[in-house]
Structure 1
């Protein structure tokens, strides 16, 4: 059996467990927000710091990989902007845009060690540093122009939120520690490593808990378009750019994996806060999360071949 498929079984198994826990009521609904916040704000930055600080980037084409990753999101942003010519309300379009450009890197992080080894896991973690602010800036700009919010966002506040984002700070701190050769071992590194190990299972559980099958009925035509953009067009773009920039081997497989990840739950939050179509966004995240179990192995196998 394809090793990526084998590696995906536990990932999507934990996502399914999260859905069952929410549906059963075994974990009270109000607790999920706290679990999500703990994972994103504290545990995941620790995981990213440890992974990046200990990685050997001299052995991988990190520069070309990062350029191709950033370029992939820029190209997808341009393609999604071109879809504004389609007749649809502005709020619906903002959710279509987010569906095409936002990626759930945590699914890839959970998959990477088993599917790609330490090298692939290190590259997947490194990709967060430039792409998180890039994608957020694009989405906020689109939401500002076409969203239905009654108030204009405070751009200064948005900028502060980006530069103080714990995920970005964890990546940058890990890269600094890697270059300086510090905190790669010892009690501080071990404490962060221990905390970071809890992040991915908890995040996968919250992804499952957030699945909303009812929302799949919201604008099925637009959701189908956004799913196609995310799971078919995006990985093809990332593959093409990877080949163009000379990325190969494990790095190319990880790069295509970035393009093939499902939609991120953060898109639903932004749609709700800034006047997008939140229900459609929830449907997109649910559909891509389910279908990525099929499409991710196919695209990664194509990259590996």
Structure 2
């Protein structure tokens, strides 16, 4: 347990610094949007490209691992569809609960994977991101298209955003370079690596800056339910599927972390665009991020 806490403390510590920086006003509020976009659009793709292009993919059993990840995200969507009649909430609010349970903060889990397992953790989380970003977006867009308030989804635009997602582009490009054994000139490779090293601190600072305790006041009981499903049921689902598919060791632990991830900021953006309950999404992102500081160490301790 001491090893787990020692590995996780810097991650949560940097998130806390991000929260403090915003609350103290050392950085103006309007600066955090550009910082977050820089980390997401400018620095994360080089990070993923470097990790995957240099990875020894032959050492990873990709089929069962990626299959288990896909089944995990699909299972969480099925659970949410099954309990919809029991929730008795307005349809737009349901779409935000759906996103709260089905989305994950891949970049935060990427930081945790690197802290715990180094290069192998980075590669595995990056691969999960490649398969999950299109899948999870399709799930959430479908829910909003059916139950969002007066939304008329522009499916072509949404599909274009998924295909041109910087994280997918960086990961796929790294995979092509790796599989095709395309040589990357050393100066370019070193530049990409240096850019990638700057990504994680900015990502974690942005996560902390985005925490807002006031947003947790909306629908507290429903919020407690969605956080419980995400942080307590999700890990069991992903872990169970991984075990059923014969996974163990680090790949199984990465699946557990994937299932135990807090909500992602993209849920708030999509709720605004397609008629969901944006205030609820904001509250869930804060609540799930805060409670994952407790639940992630718990699950890692339980896993041993």
Q: Identify the TM-score tier after normalising by the shorter chain.
A: over 0.9
Q: Which residue of 1 aligns with 2:44?
A: 44
Following superposition, the deviation at residue 234 of structure 1 comes to 0.6
Q: Which residue of 2 aligns with 1:141?
A: 142
> What is the root-mean-square deviation of aligned Cα atoms in Å?
1.3
Which deviations, in whole Å up to 9, do the C-alpha atoms of 1:102-121 show, x marking residues without a partner? Answer: 10111111111231232122
Following superposition, the deviation at residue 156 of structure 1 comes to 0.7
Q: Which residue of 2 aligns with 1:29?
A: 29
**What is the aligned residue count?**
303
Q: Which residue of 1 aligns with 2:286?
A: 286
Following superposition, the deviation at residue 184 of structure 1 comes to 5.6
Matches within 5 A, 1:142-181: 142-148=143-149, 150-181=150-181
Which whole-Å CA distance do the structure 1 matches of 2:17 and 2:114 have between them?
A: 21
Q: Which residue of 2 aligns with 1:215?
A: 215
Matches within 5 A, 1:232-243: 232-243=232-243
Which whole-Å CA distance do the structure 1 matches of 2:248 and 2:273 have between them?
A: 40
Matches within 5 A, 1:164-203: 164-183=164-183, 186-203=186-203
Which deviations, in whole Å up to 9, do the C-alpha atoms of 1:254-288 show, x marking residues without a partner? Answer: 11111111111111111122111111111111111
More displaced stretch, 265-274 vs 110-119:
110-119
Which whole-Å CA distance do the structure 2 matches of 1:195 and 1:252 have between them?
A: 29
Following superposition, the deviation at residue 36 of structure 1 comes to 1.1
Matches within 5 A, 1:61-76: 61-76=61-76
Does the CA-based 8 Å contact 1:49-1:173 persist in structure 2? yes
Does the CA-based 8 Å contact 2:151-2:275 persist in structure 1? no
Which whole-Å CA distance do the structure 1 matches of 2:183 and 2:29 have between them?
A: 38
Q: Which residue of 2 aligns with 1:105?
A: 106
Following superposition, the deviation at residue 151 of structure 1 comes to 4.0
Q: Which residue of 1 aligns with 2:122?
A: 121
Which whole-Å CA distance do the structure 1 matches of 2:52 and 2:127 have between them?
A: 6
Does the CA-based 8 Å contact 1:91-1:276 persist in structure 2? yes
Do structure 1's residue 88 and structure 2's residue 85 form an aligned pair?
A: no
Which deviations, in whole Å up to 9, do the C-alpha atoms of 1:44-99 show, x marking residues without a partner? Answer: 01100001111112112222110000110000000011121021101110111011
Which deviations, in whole Å up to 9, do the C-alpha atoms of 1:119-138 show, x marking residues without a partner? Answer: 12211111110101100110
Q: Which residue of 1 aligns with 2:295?
A: 295
Moved beyond 4 Å, runs of 4+: none
Which whole-Å CA distance do the structure 2 matches of 1:6 and 1:147 have between them?
A: 43
TM-score, normalised relative to structure 1:
0.96
SS for the counterpart of 2:176 is: helix
Does the CA-based 8 Å contact 1:98-1:267 persist in structure 2? yes
Which whole-Å CA distance do the structure 2 matches of 1:244 and 1:136 have between them?
A: 26
Does the CA-based 8 Å contact 1:60-1:119 persist in structure 2? no
Unaligned runs of 5+ in 1: none
Change in Cα spacing, 1:248 to 1:32, as seen in structure 2 (3 Å) is same
Do structure 1's residue 261 and structure 2's residue 268 form an aligned pair?
A: no
Does the CA-based 8 Å contact 2:231-2:262 persist in structure 1? yes
Unaligned runs of 5+ in 2: none
More displaced stretch, 54-63 vs 217-226:
54-63
Q: Which residue of 1 aligns with 2:60?
A: 60
Following superposition, the deviation at residue 178 of structure 1 comes to 1.0
Does the CA-based 8 Å contact 2:96-2:278 persist in structure 1? yes
Does the CA-based 8 Å contact 1:50-1:184 persist in structure 2? no
